[in-house]
Chains A and B, each alone.
Chain A
Amino acid sequence: MVKVRGLVKRYEVDDGDVQAVRGVDFEVPQGKFFTLLGPSGCGKTTTLRSVAGLETIDDGEIEIDGQIVTSAPRGIFVSPHQRDIGMVFQSYAIWPHMSVFENVEFPLTQLKAKPPKSVIREKVLRALSLVHMDGLEDRPAPQLSGGQQQRLALARAIVREPKVLLLDEPLSNLDAQLRAEMRFELKSLVKRLGITTLYVTHDQLEALTMSDQVAVMHGGKIVQVSSPKELYRKPKDRFVAGFIGTSNFFEGKVLTVGPSNQLSSVEIAMGTLQCFLPEATHRGAAVVLAMRAEHFEISLDKRAGAENTLKGKVSNLLFLGESLDCHIEVDGQLIHVKAPADLAIEDGDEVFIRVPPERCIAVEVRDS
């Protein structure tokens, strides 16, 4: 449905050009929810705006529903108003001089074949009802709350039933509770309508909970595209592992390499760990192992025979309600561990932490 190939975008700044997007490729299949995830300045919003036609690009091609809408080498550029898209802006961009109804009606009045009034009215009311704003159609737009503005922007974006829905951090201006609510609502709404959706966010939780596919962007490039589950389980590199969830990183050296699908051992500063390494890793290679805070088991006594166990001291405890956030000091290095909330430990306690070998992920391998 949406295909982006080799997208490059440069910005002129006072001291030369800055490449905001440096060669991005991805494809969103019909009806799928695709998310561009990354920290601010990674080029995700520029990519989205290029798909919308709000930015011209310096290289690459964009295709919507089989039609090339932007092509730098071929000099094709379809204006945004001629693309069949709906978009929700981060600021919502609700037109302040129009009522709720007029805001939603506007895209319909711009159709080449303008539908009759009764049809327009019916479509507007249905769109408003889809976002649970029934009865508010006569309200002047500036009198809406933040949550209502967000819903209105969504209604305006879907009222034409566009082929593609573009969402630019639509939830970032809402408070935490409303955001959690809207995550569910937004996902079920676009699934119900079956619209192909391109979503931009810097919030990993939004990306993981809502998407079919997530593309993690860093420095103007896509680093990894995969399903949310795979992204969590098998981050491709150190950046992805650090960006999704809370990870601890350990640098080490490969001591022994087991045969395929067998345990290898890696020497790190505080001991030797058993883990699975990617194929074709050699003895003596330098690796970085990532371990998520929630994958550690924590106990007060050492269990016999268990591998990958480290001895440490509790140095900082945060009670989060659903869990305990602890820093465990092992040989002078702090390890971030998430423990069950009812675990009876205190600052200064001596504890043992263990991480199963399948939870040690090699995110960097360098042959020496």
Chain B
Amino acid sequence: MDKVIELSGPPSVSWRRVLRIRHPWATLLLLFLILLTMAPLLTLIFGSFSNSTEIGEFKDFGLQNYARAYLRKTTLVILGNTLILTAGSVFLGVSLALSLAWLVERTNIPCKGILYAAIPLTLAIPGVLHAISWILLFSPRMGYVNRWMMTTFGLSTAPFNTYTLHGMIVLEALRVVPTAFLLMVPLLRNMDTSLEEAAAVSGAAPFSRLRRITLPVVSSGIIAVLIYETITVLETFEIPGILGLPARIYVFSTKIYAVTQGLETPDYGQANALAMAYMLMAAVGVLLYARATRRAEKFAVITGRGYRPKLLDLGWWRYAAAGVAGLYLTLTLVLPLLVLFWTSLLPYPAMPSEKSLALVSLDNYRTIAIYGATWKVLKNTALMVAATAVGTIVLSFFISWIIVRTRFWGRGLLDMLAFLPRSIPGIVKALALMWIFLVLRPYFPIYGTVWLISLGFILSFIAYGTRSITASLLQIHRELEEAAYLSGATLPVTFWRIHFPLLVPAFVGLAIWSMFLSIRLTGLPLMLYEGAENQVLSVFIWMMWDDGQMGAVSGLGVLTLLFLFLVAVVMRRMGFREVGAHR
């Protein structure tokens, strides 16, 4: 281990250096990461040319899969749907988030404390539950809101239909808001106010200041947020899965899932071919994001001491603004919770009335508790979440350590490999992992276990993990550890006494973050689902919904949400304010 902290010598790459292997551990980690990221990718690419009907078998190479996937009008429709859903929800969501961030940071809107606390809290709601609650509210036949409006206003048809592209766009936009909000609040808060003051003393009126100074300065940040949210929505599965699949409105992620679930024979070759275009789109997004954030960092170089900016007095408009914020919270937080809770008390969804009140009972909760599968699912979920958190932290820490503290020749490559899996949409990653671990089944029998799900999540999470731990490591001055070495401490002792205590907040933050995400995300575990052995909570909810057990699903949803909210609130108390800011 001592060689890892080789501190001197130029970082030049020469083959002699490489072959002598100056950093054996770092090299080993690099090889491991190459294997972990490249092997699934290559299998996926090879598989897209293979015409075997069996997954994991390569034969009869040709372009038939591509023909089946792309020489059809439906694929164009899917492409269109994906773009419309992404563009629409990102534009709507980021605009709303920017307005909310501006309102709480720069104006005297009332109830700021509630907004600061409640908007990030909406992050905790899993997409599947959000979509289910929206069906209960806005589906044309049984949606509570629709039925209430029809009886109240005497409408003959339901005013809302959530099983449409528009319905998906609105819900996805609401789900974009919290991350975009969390990313934009610091943007507005950290902007050096003396830039605006300098414009004021140069004779610029308030509107001119906003247009010529404030917006251009934060624009690169806003662009980065836009691209970030685009990547996120592009790979989203839950909303188009629950709302779109019944209406046969496909986007790339749901189409790939549908193809692998083919009624008679799953067409994995075609799924792979579809994944190629999808992956390309995501990769372009990730590259753009990397470029945009580099520019943003360049802008961030100039900052001054912070005077708290004077808040804009909105006058009576502040109540209107608070109303808009309240409506947002009602739609994203209050109504979904209420509707899930109400439905969980009933044998079947029914409008609140004297008759339905008589039906209220805790039967659904009793069913959940005595249903044998529940406990198995909870155990699976706990194992999967724990493995994901530990794996993410350990892998992220070692990668960050090598990048920050050594002169290992492959640091740049390591950094890139940690970021690469982020550019592969979750569904595609699951597909690739499925291929490779079916091939490797005789040697590594982890296909069909929760460990494979964890591995998939870890691969997705190390991009954020290395960035957050690298940032924390950079804050620990190198001289702190050098002083420990000079005091006679070995590397492990130094880590245990110096780094670990200083990094604990970063580790805990990362653990909570990965826990939230791995509970919430449905696409990857659903693709890898094989049976009771690797069924986790999100898949369990999905399957119960598919079976039409609305009451039990609602009850499970209420319990899940209460648990996640509780964790989020405890974390806030402990000071981890931006848990889950990056999906």
Contacts and interface: CB of A to CB of B under 8 A. Distances in A.
B217 A81 contact: no
B305 A107 contact: no
Contacts of B213: 95
Interface stretch (B48-56, B192-200, B386-394): B192-200
A111 interface: yes
Given A85-B201, A97-B216, A156-B202, A91 B208 contact: no
Contact of A106 (B212, B219, B299): B212
Contact of B197 (A54, A111, A142, A160): A54
B299 A96 contact: yes
Interface string B174-215: 000000000000000000101101111111110011001100
B198 A156 contact: yes
Contacts of A81: 199-205, 209
Q: Specify which of B200, B208, B213, B305 lies most central, judged by the most chain A CB atoms within 10 Å of its CB.
A: B200
A242 to B, nearest CB: 26
Given A96-B301, A97-B216, A106-B212, A83 B201 contact: yes
A174 to B, nearest CB: 15
Contacts of A94: 302
B303 interface: yes
A93 B194 contact: yes
A110 B204 contact: yes
Given A97-B216, A106-B212, A86 B301 contact: no
A89 B201 CA distance: 11
> Per DSSP, are chain B's interface residues mostly helix, strand or loop, or mixed?
helix
A107 B205 CA distance: 11
A96 B304 CA distance: 13
Contacts of B201: 52-54, 80-81, 83, 85-87, 166
A89 B198 CA distance: 8
Contacts of A85: 201
A79 B304 CA distance: 22
A142 B298 contact: yes
Nearest to B198: A93
A80 to B, nearest CB: 4
B204 A89 contact: no
Contacts of A52: 197, 201
Interface in A84-112: 85-87, 89-97, 106-107, 110-111
Nearest to B205: A81
Interface string B388-418: 0000000000000000000000000000000
B203 A90 contact: no
A92 B303 CA distance: 9
B200 A106 contact: no
A282 B6 CA distance: 75
Q: Specify which of B198, B205, B216, B299 lies most central, judged by the most chain A CB atoms within 10 Å of its CB.
A: B198
A229 B304 CA distance: 34
Nearest to B308: A11
Given A106-B212, A156-B198, A91 B302 contact: yes
Interface residues of B, number: 26
B203 A142 contact: no
Contacts of A79: 200, 205
A166 to B, nearest CB: 8
Nearest to B216: A97
B129 to A, nearest CB: 39
Contact of B202 (A90, A92, A107): A107
A97 B208 CA distance: 15
Contacts of B217: 95-97
Contacts of B198: 87, 89, 93, 95, 153, 156
Interface residues of A, number: 30
Contact of B305 (A86, A91, A142): A91
Interface in A121-149: 141-142
Interface string B477-516: 0000000000000000000000000000000000000000
A156 B200 CA distance: 13
Q: Specify which of A93, A97, A107 lies most central, judged by the most chain B CB atoms within 10 Å of its CB.
A: A93
Contacts of A96: 217, 298-299, 301-302
Nearest to B204: A110
A80 B299 contact: no
A111 B204 CA distance: 8
Contact of A93 (B197, B219, B298, B301): B197
Interface string B293-318: 00000110111110000000000000
Nearest to A140: B298
Interface in A332-366: none
A55 to B, nearest CB: 9
A80 B208 CA distance: 13
A291 B54 CA distance: 97
B202 A110 contact: yes
Contacts of B298: 96, 142
A81 B197 CA distance: 9
Interface in A24-54: 52-54
A110 B299 CA distance: 24
A36 B303 CA distance: 24
Given A90-B304, A91-B305, A142 B204 contact: no
Contact of B303 (A91, A95, A141): A91
Contact of A89 (B208, B212, B219, B304): B304
A220 B303 CA distance: 27
Nearest to B304: A91
Interface in A60-85: 79-83, 85
A53 B310 CA distance: 12
A107 B203 CA distance: 6
Given A83-B201, A107-B202, A111-B203, A91 B194 contact: yes
Contacts of A82: 203
Q: Specify which of A54, A94, A141 lies most central, judged by the most chain B CB atoms within 10 Å of its CB.
A: A54
B203 A97 contact: no
Interface in B199-241: 199-205, 208-209, 212-213, 216-217, 219
Contacts of B195: 93, 95
A82 B203 CA distance: 6
B192 to A, nearest CB: 6
A90 B212 CA distance: 22
B301 A142 contact: yes
Contacts of A142: 298-299, 301-302
12 contacts: A80-B197, A80-B201, A81-B209, A91-B304, A95-B217, A97-B299, A106-B202, A106-B204, A107-B203, A110-B202, A142-B302, A160-B202
6 smallest CB-CB distances across A and B, nearest first, come from A91-B304, A107-B202, A110-B203, A93-B194, A93-B198, A80-B200
Given A54-B200, A90-B305, 12 more contacts: A53-B201, A80-B201, A86-B202, A87-B197, A87-B198, A89-B304, A94-B302, A95-B195, A97-B219, A110-B199, A142-B299, A142-B302
